Every structure is written in structure tokens, then in C-alpha cells.
A and B are shown apart, each in its own frame.
Chain A
């Protein structure tokens, strides 16, 4: 599944909180080095994990969402289930570890 880029809280509501399946949210920014390392991994997983939806939230473009979910360091990787934040991780993970993190959420 293609990665969905979120622009604003309304889209987040629709794409993440109202989603039927598990959602991985990658909070990131263009100026963050570790975020650029995780980006391609997240893309790959979105193609490989069929039952998981992957969305990216650029924090500078979405300051309200960053504040709401208390993003204080990035990359922050969060898994949402049934409209609720189920699990979060601050800092980059390598691919097998990120996959495990999503599966275990």
C-alpha cells in the first residue's frame, strides 16, 4: 500500500483514527538525519506488510498533531489501533526491528 502523507488534523482523523486496520505513523521532518534513514524502511514496509497502513506526518507542516501526540523528538514511530495510540518509539530502528515493533503492537 502506498504511504499516505498527512496534511492537517482532518486528514489524520480520517486516515489514522478512523482506519479499520493497524496504522504506523512516522512523525518526521526534513531536517532530521535519523528520519531520512527510517524513511526508506517505512516505504519498504508499507509495500511488504499488507495488513498495515503507513502514514507520514511531517511535524513542521502539522504542528497541531505534533503537539497533540506530544512529539518532542523525532523520528517518533507510533502504532494506532482502533483510533487509539497503542505503542510508540522514539528514535530510528533498523528494518527487522521496526517490523517486529509493528507486529507486536
Chain B
């Protein structure tokens, strides 16, 4: 039985591991992929207090090394569910089940998917969620960006400098993003706005060949040949496997306040996976500390009572 099992080894999860280990508790981190979370794709972090500038992957490596050096254990596994047995919880991951006195959910947020069957198959083969990561592979080609926020607009600007042609596909005819940026992009010769359109199909077997678009005003459909599609339609949490035990908000984030406490005693939510206003590296780290110290207190009370 672990004192604290942490689901997700991003900034929040690894910060929680550090605090729980320093309080002398046994800690297991479960992470389904590479540790580090979203920050590993940031070329430079320049807003973490006390660190002037650090590559995102280096920040993640240092945080991981710190947690492991303090004695946190880590297993690669995808968590499929949690059960509450009162004095302890069980966390299911693959064919394993881990017993824990407390659980900290630090599952973060992922890039929102369009939600099409072919989408997953074509990731890395024409479909990308990160223009600055993958844009270089589309040099001189024709690509599309899907979305209407600042991320999508920024992606268009970045890609316009590399690609032959960039289409911006947006379901509305107005933009939530920066108006000055919109104006600047409209003036670029190799950028074309396709507004009031949604993507209804992704065409291609081994690689993306074209998009099928539908005009939401006229219902007209068109096929648009592109070699790349950069999807920038926001972020989404990945917490459905914890519901209904743990209460989620309307958007799928875990319903927990600044104290990181969920509706279940002994289960906490830290970082981007929680209902919150500001999702930054510092707020993820702060949540990790808050959740871990609450878990430590819960374990101490549990141990004192037994």
C-alpha cells in the first residue's frame, strides 16, 4: 500500500511527488507516456520564478530527477479507473491494481481532437497538434490550420513563413483571437481564410491527402488537397475514467477548488485537470504542493486512527 499514488507525471504530479516524499510518505507516480507533460514541447520557459530561462524538456528532466532522487517510484501505465474502499483506494492500470491511502489526479490537459476515426491514425502522417514542433517537415508544402483562437492564428503566421500555402479553416466568420494578427494574416499572399467551414472528413490512407470541408451557411461541401493539417481547437481534459466516483464539471475538468480537494475524501486534483482560471507552469507546481500536503495530512490522520 502506497501513501500517495499520483496519476500523471507532468509538472503538477512531479511537484506533488517531491512534497509528499519530503514529508516522508511513500509515493508512486503512474504515467502513460513520457514524463514531463505539456512543457516538454516548449522551446524555452521564461516565466518560472527563479529560473531566468530553461528549455521545457530540461525543466521536465530536472523535476523528474528531483522526484526520483527523493525516492518517488514511477511506473509507465495507463490508468483505467479508481475505486474508493473508505480507508484506502485502488487504482487500476493495465493488468495491475495499486492500493493507496490517497490519490492525486494530475492528468493535465491534451490537445482537443476533432473526434474522427482517421484522426488518430494520421497523427504524425499529416496531422499535427503542434506547428512549432512539426512545421519544419512541411516546408514548401500546402497545409491547413483548423481553429479560430490565438493558437491557430499564431500557427498560421509561423507556417506561412515555411509553407507554399496555408489555409485557415474556421467554423465561424469572426475570430476570438487577436484582431491585429488577423489583419496581418489576411494581407499575406500565401494565406487563405476559409471561414464558416468545418472539417467533415480526413482523406488519406498512409498519409493525409485532402480534407473534406462543409460550409455551415450554404451546406456546400468541397475537397481541399493538403499535405498537412494543424489542429488548434483548444485543450481538453482526460478525466472520464474517474467519473462518476470523482465529480467533473461540464467541461470534463475535475470539480475541485484551490484546496485541490475533490468530492471524495483522500482523492485530490492538481494542475490543468482541475477546474481553474489560470493554467500555467507555476499554478501546476503550486497545485502539486497543495494537493500533496493535503494528502500528507490525510495519511497522518488515517495512520493515527489505526
| Residues of chain A whose beta carbon lies under 8 Å from any beta carbon of chain B | 29, 31-34, 36-38, 59-60, 66, 70-74, 76, 90-94, 96-97
| Residues of chain B whose beta carbon lies under 8 Å from any beta carbon of chain A | 31, 33-36, 40-43, 55-58, 60-61, 76, 123-126, 128, 133-134, 136-138, 206-207, 228
Contacts A33-B43, A33-B55 given; does A76 touch B34 at CB 8 Å = no
Whether A72 contacts B126 by the Cβ 8 Å rule is yes
Whether B57 contacts A37 by the Cβ 8 Å rule is yes
Contacts A71-B137, A92-B33, A94-B34 given; does A31 touch B43 at CB 8 Å = yes
Specify the chain B residue showing the minimal Cβ separation from A97: B76
Question: Nearest Cβ distance between residue B44 and chain A, in whole angstroms?
Answer: 10
Residues of chain B within 8 A of A32, CB atoms compared: 133
A84, B136: Cα distance in complex, Å:
26
Whether A34 contacts B124 by the Cβ 8 Å rule is no
A74, B128: Cα distance in complex, Å:
11
Whether B134 contacts A72 by the Cβ 8 Å rule is yes
Give chain B's interface secondary structure class. mixed
Residues of chain A within 8 A of B76, CB atoms compared: 94, 96-97
* Residue of B35, B42, B124 contacting most chain A CB atoms (<10 Å): B124
Whether B125 contacts A34 by the Cβ 8 Å rule is no
A72, B42: Cα distance in complex, Å:
18
Whether B124 contacts A72 by the Cβ 8 Å rule is yes
Specify the chain A residue showing the minimal Cβ separation from B57: A33
The 5 closest A-B pairs by CB, nearest first: A33-B57, A90-B124, A92-B34, A73-B124, A73-B134
Residues of chain B within 8 A of A37, CB atoms compared: 34, 36, 40, 57, 60-61
Residues of chain B within 8 A of A76, CB atoms compared: 124
Name the contact of B228 in the complex, choosing from A71, A72, A97 (C-beta under 8 A): A72
